[in-house]
């Protein structure tokens, strides 16, 4: 099959050689000569192996590419980024304006014009070039791409999908070699970009919005430990009574968890941007209703589409509804921790690409002082040109005073997805704040009549008012062990009793966890070396926040149920929750400081060194609870609706170990690659992070 497919492209290859010759102004034989071209190193993804090759890519398929140009004076860019973000530097917080950055570091117009002409001569349509000249976006066909970049595009079996990639390294005319840094879009690595959220209701992560309505199973607790269930025949971690999983924490409970109800700031004046695939048609009305029900300020939301995103709606991956939940989650999480901050949503293509263009659009236009990104790749198996190009965008963000907050991933140490311990890209960039995940116990600050907790969506309910505190936090590394009940169990009314047998030995199978580890791509940045000592690379995460879907965040969204489509609320988790919650807290910090603080990592680590546990809650299961299955590890019984909607389809039960022992990531005293420096500790965090 592969040989036949290749023979069908022969005519296209011949005509492509003629196009290439025209682009270079030479004859076909000379065009094919390697002496006339510069090879782009690391321009193929690691998953595009000979063994995984299945067929040739259809020559008429569209490709949406960006040819990236590097910054002029890369060392100068790095120095500016370091100096403006490092306390003690004479340039600290003297951020460049976008115009100043472009004047000093943007690729020259002549270089951009040469790239544009090369692409047009090869048959591409040039779509856009941003004002910082960072890339030239163009659209064409597989045949034109093969000719222009002197390669063959094949289709590979990778990660359970069929993905396109070059069969050999890309090359460009030698005259462009010094300007071109990388080319994105020829391979389909972007298809591996996923939202880092989870309902935790399926064996693996269930990304994006639910296709049909989803609700947390009942019974569940209004706060951690509000309801318990006796498990006399199924003891675990030394007890025969377990808390029932919370129904999903309200904004008031999350604000109490991080002491935001004790801080006289709400992020006012600090625009927080977030990116996502497609745009939910009900975003504004959903966040507005959510705000009314949970006593938040009315949201201020702007939506836009970055120029030059993929414009062919007939591509093979058009699943816009899969991403509506991510967008809604991001908005409501940011609005929870920074209810006064305006929100900006920048939509990307629903073909799972163009995120780099969306991020560049925000940064180059300085459309926000903070960016939240709840998407990432599993591991670092992304072409190096893509990594370098996007990291350059993050460098511009640092130099111009924009803080970028990225979810660290939902697959723990990535052994289950990549095969070996790994961190995720984008979170591995030393120019972003990588946000890991925790599992949190939130309780009332005092004892109050239970009647005041009657309804989760009643603004008058204590669930939606101040009065909540952290009991404890551990790292989020879920162990999931199914529990088969007996027919005599009582699981519908209090007191609850659930007996039976576990499906596997404790702690059960891995059910998702916050990403972390040490990068094999990026060196350790100086702000980490000074605070946590020398390591072999950039350590992830930097800081953490609520992420465990079993102690998850309550999200309100229009969904499709069996009895109609309407607004309802469900529990969700993942570092897609942690990143926007932290981005909102960064907006509060900016307001407290009186002006944007920019890239916070140097301050995060200097506050860690100076104040230790004063600024951060030290997430430390090992010392607080132990680290083996014979220790009293925090865990809970979770009830799920089998149909995801109601009890009519039956109930399923499982024990959820909040930080299981089988992962390589564990929360310990001080910095760790499970939760970074810890989680924000209320007013002390904001005092330390904004100190002169």
| End-to-end CA gap in the chain | 66
- For residues 137 and 110, the answer to whether their CB atoms sit within 8 Å is no
What gap in Å lies between CA 124 and CA 20, rounded to an integer? 12
- For residues 220 and 247, the answer to whether their CB atoms sit within 8 Å is yes
Which residues partner with 286 through β-bridges?
Answer: none
Helices (H), 382-442: 384-399, 415-418
**Helix (H), strand (E) at residue 291:** helix 283-293
What gap in Å lies between CA 576 and CA 362, rounded to an integer? 19
What gap in Å lies between CA 193 and CA 362, rounded to an integer? 19
- pLDDT-flagged residues of the chain (< 50): 1-34, 200-210, 318, 451
229, 486, 490 from 495: Cα distances, Å = 7, 16, 8
Question: Do you find a cis peptide bond into 507, omega within 30 degrees of 0?
Answer: yes
- For residues 83 and 92, the answer to whether their CB atoms sit within 8 Å is yes
Give 486's contacts (C-beta < 8 A, 6+ positions apart).
233, 499, 500
* Per-residue confidence (pLDDT) for residue 196, from 0 to 100: 79
- For residues 426 and 666, the answer to whether their CB atoms sit within 8 Å is no
What gap in Å lies between CA 234 and CA 498, rounded to an integer? 8
Strands (E), 595-683: 616-617, 635-641, 651-657, 679-680
164, 315, 672 from 62: Cα distances, Å = 12, 8, 44
206, 207, 220, 508 from 203: Cα distances, Å = 8, 12, 20, 12
Q: Could you report the per-residue pLDDT of 588-606, keeping only the tens digit for each? A: 999 999 999 999 999 999 9
* Per-residue confidence (pLDDT) for residue 203, from 0 to 100: 34
- For residues 334 and 274, the answer to whether their CB atoms sit within 8 Å is yes
- For residues 442 and 257, the answer to whether their CB atoms sit within 8 Å is yes
164, 218, 219, 377, 444 from 646: Cα distances, Å = 41, 8, 11, 33, 28
Q: Could you name the CATH architecture of 220-689?
A: 3-Layer(aba) Sandwich (3.40)
* Per-residue confidence (pLDDT) for residue 648, from 0 to 100: 93
Domain ranges of the chain: 2-71+106-187, 220-689
Question: 85: number of CA atoms within 13 Å, CB side?
Answer: 32
């Amino acid at each position: 099959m592969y040989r036949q497919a290749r023979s069908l492209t022969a005519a296209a290859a011949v005509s492509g050689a003629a196009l290439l010759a025209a682009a270079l102004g030479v004859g076909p034989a000379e065009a094919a000569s390697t002496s006339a071209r510069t090879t782009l190193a690391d321009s193929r993804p690691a998953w595009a192996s000979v063994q995984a090759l299945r067929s040739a890519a259809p020559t008429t398929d569209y490709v949406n590419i960006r040819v990236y140009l590097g910054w002029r004076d890369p060392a100068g860019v790095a120095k500016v980024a370091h100096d403006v973000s490092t306390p003690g530097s004479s340039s600290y917080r003297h951020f460049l304006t976008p115009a100043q950055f472009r004047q000093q570091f943007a690729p020259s117009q002549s270089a951009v014009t040469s790239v544009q002409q090369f692409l047009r001569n090869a048959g591409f349509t040039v779509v856009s070039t941003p004002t910082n000249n960072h890339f030239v976006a163009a659209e064409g066909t597989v045949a034109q791409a093969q000719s222009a970049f002197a390669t063959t595009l094949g289709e590979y079996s990778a990660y359970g999908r069929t993905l396109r990639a070059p069969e050999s390294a890309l090359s460009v005319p030698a005259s462009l070699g010094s300007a071109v840094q990388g080319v994105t879009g020829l391979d389909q690595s972007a298809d591996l970009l996923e939202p880092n959220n989870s309902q935790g209701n399926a064996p693996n992560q269930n990304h994006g919005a639910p296709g049909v309505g989803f609700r947390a199973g009942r019974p569940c607790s209004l706060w951690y430990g509000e309801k318990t269930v006796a498990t006399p025949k199924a003891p675990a971690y030394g007890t025969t009574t377990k808390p029932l999983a919370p129904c999903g924490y309200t904004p008031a409970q999350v604000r109490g968890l991080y002491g935001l109800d004790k801080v006289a700031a709400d992020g006012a004046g600090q625009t927080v941007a977030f990116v996502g695939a497609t745009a939910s048609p009900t975003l504004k009305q959903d966040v507005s209703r959510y705000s009314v029900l949970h006593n938040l300020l009315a949201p201020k939301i702007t939506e836009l589409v970055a120029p030059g995103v993929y414009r062919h709606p007939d591509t093979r991956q058009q699943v816009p509804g899969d991403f509506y939940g991510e967008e809604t989650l991001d908005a409501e999480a940011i609005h929870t921790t920074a209810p006064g901050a305006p929100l900006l949503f920048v939509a990307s293509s629903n073909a799972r690409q163009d995120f780099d263009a969306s991020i560049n659009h925000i940064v180059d236009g300085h459309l926000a002082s903070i960016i939240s990104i709840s998407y990432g790749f599993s591991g670092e198996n992304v072409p190096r040109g893509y990594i370098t190009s996007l990291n350059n965008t993050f460098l511009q963000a640092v130099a111009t005073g924009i803080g970028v907050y990225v979810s660290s991933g939902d697959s723990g140490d990535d052994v289950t997805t990549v095969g070996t311990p790994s961190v995720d890209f984008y979170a591995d960039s030393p120019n972003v704040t990588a946000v890991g995940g925790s599992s949190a116990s939130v309780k009332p600050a005092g004892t109050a009549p239970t009647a005041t907790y009657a309804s989760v969506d009643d603004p008058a309910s204590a669930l939606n008012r101040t009065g909540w505190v952290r009991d404890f936090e551990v790292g989020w590394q879920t162990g999931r062990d199914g529990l088969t009940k007996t027919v005599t169990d009582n699981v519908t009314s209090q007191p609850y009793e659930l007996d039976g047998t576990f499906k596997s030995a404790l702690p059960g199978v891995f059910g998702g966890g916050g990403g972390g580890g040490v990068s094999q791509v990026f060196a350790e940045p100086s702000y980490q070396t000074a605070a946590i000592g020398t390591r072999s690379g950039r350590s992830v995460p930097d800081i953490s926040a609520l992420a465990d879907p079993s102690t998850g965040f309550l999200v309100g969204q229009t969904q499709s149920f069996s009895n109609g489509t309407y607004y309802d609320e469900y529990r969700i988790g993942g570092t897609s929750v942690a990143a926007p919650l932290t981005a909102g807290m960064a907006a509060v910090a900016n307001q407290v400081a009186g002006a944007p603080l920019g890239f916070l990592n140097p301050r995060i680590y200097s506050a860690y060194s100076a104040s230790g546990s004063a600024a951060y809650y030290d997430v430390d299961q090992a010392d607080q609870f132990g680290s083996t299955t014979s220790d009293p590890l925090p865990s809970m019984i979770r009830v799920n609706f089998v149909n995801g909607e109601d009890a009519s389809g039956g109930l399923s039960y499982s024990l959820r170990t909040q930080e299981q022992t089988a992962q390589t990531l564990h929360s310990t005293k001080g910095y760790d690659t499970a939760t970074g420096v810890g989680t924000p500790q209320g007013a002390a965090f904001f005092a330390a992070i904004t100190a002169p």
